[in-house]
Structure 1
Amino acid sequence: MGRSERKHRAILAAAQEMFLAGGYLGTNMDELAARSSVSKQTVYKHFGSKEALFVELVTSMTDAAGDRVHNEVADPADGDDLVGFLESYADRQLDIVMTPKLLQLRRLVIGEVGRFPDLAEALYEHGPKRAIGMLAAMFARLTERGMLHADDATAAATAFNWLVMGESLNRAMLLGDAAIPSTAERRAQVRAAVRVFLAAYGAR
């Protein structure tokens, strides 16, 4: 890793800590530069503006979470336990997305939508939209192989995503981190979500 890349990562790390703790308005760029061990000029050289830095932080955090959910999972092979695969996938998704930092980022972005719509767009494009796109591609492949029956793979992916995420995400967003489900609660929700999903999209 080169010196410039190390500085870029140090700035993003400090930005994550400060934006999540103090919000957009509460984050001071002079302090952020000091915490990053770079000059304020270097911060602006890398990111251009405070808003651009915030957008990149949103993008990098949501991309990293999405990669952990999707990129390390191979499609199930013919004859594999589809129920077990979907439950494992959903449990991984719910466990990764329902972390305090990502929930705080989501709350922070929603609070800034009126002033900075680009933030919400970045969160949506790199979060739910990207996740549903990856799921849709996988569900289309499974439908071609006869393991699912999803004429509209995007609709199936959207249904799966929100069956898994909806209740837990709503509770945690509104009630705080104390409402993040326990492992047992998460797995029970996952089993129920997969059962309902397969009732609609299971192979005929």
Structure 2
Amino acid sequence: MTANAIGPLKGDEPGRSERKRRAILDAATEIFLRHGYLGASMDDVAAQAEVSKQTVYKQFESKEALFVEIVSGMTGSAGDKVQLEIAKLGEQDDPEAELLAYAERQLIVVLTPRLMQLRRLVIGEANRFPALGRALYDGGPGRAVAGLAQAFARWSERGLLETQDPQAAASHFNWLVMGEPVNNAMLLGDDAIPEAAALRRHAVDAVRVFMAAYGKRR
């Protein structure tokens, strides 16, 4: 008699549980982003995930815990993509070219409608979940600036940039690149997210201004 004939394999249940958890998270993400925190219900999440409400509460003890998991997961995923790019900076000999490539990729990662919707949602719930605003900052711009500061310090040590304060320089660069596009998208909606060509022009201008301030003097 095979193992399947007498019941599920030992590893089947964890796999099934993980699939249900993923389905719940996917469904809840869509519902939270569409209806906001107050407009979302665990009944709707269960229905869209095609699981029982009991299963939802087995995976997440409350709507608050589900919301925190979604925000943390989306923020962490976007932050990981940005950090992969930052890790490559500071080793090459052409800061301007490397920063331009990084700026374009960062804009593409951050300026996605879902991440902009998440930012608006977290800001709207800041009083209810103050720790989530901090988590969004630490996992997003705070993490990016810290990584950039390390890259700028390496370039400065090699004489390729002139930064007395790499942390301040990193903050300046981050806001030169992200400030206007993110503010427009946050306040004016997804239709205000520029096309790829416009993002590239913005990245070129931001890097040019940064290099005028911090580039190696010839």
Name the TM-score, length of structure 2 as normaliser. 0.85
Q: Which residue of 2 aligns with 1:144?
A: 157
1:177 to 190, 200, 218: 190
Distance of aligned partners of 1:158 and 1:76 in 2 relative to their CA distance in 1, 3 Å threshold = closer
1:157-191 CA-to-partner distances (Å, cap 9, x unmatched) read: 11111100111111111111111111221111111
Gaps of 5+ in 2: 1-13
8 Å contact from structure 1 (residues 16, 57) kept in 2: yes
How big is the shift at 1:77? 4.2
Q: Which moved more, 1:52-61 or 1:17-26?
A: 52-61
- RMSD over aligned Cα, in angstroms? 1.8
Q: Distance in 2 between matches of 1:2 and 1:200?
A: 54
Q: Distance in 2 between matches of 1:163 and 1:146?
A: 23
Identity across the alignment (%): 60
**Is 1:111 the equivalent of 2:124?**
yes
Q: Distance in 2 between matches of 1:141 and 1:55?
A: 36
Q: Distance in 2 between matches of 1:150 and 1:8?
A: 47
After the TM superposition, list the runs of 4 or more consecutive aligned residues in structure 1 that deviate by more than 6 angstroms: none
Name the TM-score, length of structure 1 as normaliser. 0.90
Q: Distance in 2 between matches of 1:122 and 1:12?
A: 19
1:105-132 CA-to-partner distances (Å, cap 9, x unmatched) read: 1111111112221221221121111121
How big is the shift at 1:193? 0.6
Gaps of 5+ in 1: none
Q: Distance in 1 between matches of 2:159 and 2:16?
A: 51
8 Å contact from structure 2 (residues 68, 132) kept in 1: yes
8 Å contact from structure 1 (residues 18, 27) kept in 2: yes
Letter in 2 for 1:138: A
**Is 1:7 the equivalent of 2:20?**
yes
Q: Which residue of 1 aligns with 2:62?
A: 49
Q: Which has the larger radius of gyration?
A: 2
Distance of aligned partners of 1:44 and 1:138 in 2 relative to their CA distance in 1, 3 Å threshold = farther
1:16 to 13, 25, 29: 29
Q: Which moved more, 1:50-59 or 1:20-29?
A: 50-59
8 Å contact from structure 1 (residues 55, 118) kept in 2: no
Q: Distance in 1 between matches of 2:16 and 2:169?
A: 45
